[in-house]
Amino acid sequence: MNTLTKNMLLWVVIVLVMWEVFSRYNARLALARGTCVSAVDGQMTCPPSSGSLALDATGHAVCGRGECLQGPDGRWICSAEMGGHVGHKGNAGVACAGGCEAASASLCESPR
């Protein structure tokens, strides 16, 4: 196999790996801040100011005071701090600014 073919195959592999990593990461992020959705019950739901909104496994809206990520167990974990950030701690779970709390439908708001 010549050098050009090897380089082309290497780039294809790199692109495929990056695609897989980013698609898994993006699927686990909550919806963009300020985005309202119509959940399975048909009601429009919005995140709190500086917070996040996600849909749980049943399609119901859940919200957090800050950013939210889906944990390894499938539940949404959010920063307990208004506008706080959240990130993965390797295989150990999720780290949150101001502590972590579970996303809750009670934190969601109706559109104004």
pTM of the complete model:
0.66
pLDDT for 5: 85
Q: Is residue 18 part of a domain?
A: no
Q: Is residue 1 part of a domain?
A: no
Q: Is residue 112 part of a domain?
A: no
pLDDT for 19: 63
Best CA proximity match to 79, nearest among 22, 30, 35, 27: 30
pLDDT for 87: 86
Up-side HSE of residue 80: CA atoms within 13 Å toward CB?
Answer: 6
Q: Is residue 74 part of a domain?
A: yes
Query: Which two structure tokens, joined as six digits, stand for 103?
Result: 């996303």
Q: Is residue 5 part of a domain?
A: no
Predicted confidence band at 108 (pLDDT cuts at 50, 70, 90)? Answer: very high
Q: Is residue 11 part of a domain?
A: no
Domain interval for residue 44: 30-107
* pLDDT, tens digit, 9 for 90 and up, residues 87-104: 888 777 788 999 999 999
> Residue 106: pLDDT above 50?
yes
For residue 54, what are the CA distances in angstroms to 4, 12, 29, 88, 91? 45, 33, 8, 17, 22
Distance CA(96)–CA(25), nearest Å, equals 17
Q: Is residue 87 part of a domain?
A: yes
Q: Is residue 12 part of a domain?
A: no
* pLDDT, tens digit, 9 for 90 and up, residues 5-39: 887 788 877 777 666 655 554 444 455 556 788 87
Domain count for the chain: 1
* pLDDT, tens digit, 9 for 90 and up, residues 28-67: 445 555 678 887 778 888 898 889 998 888 888 899 999 9
pLDDT for 77: 92
Q: How many residues does the chain have?
A: 112
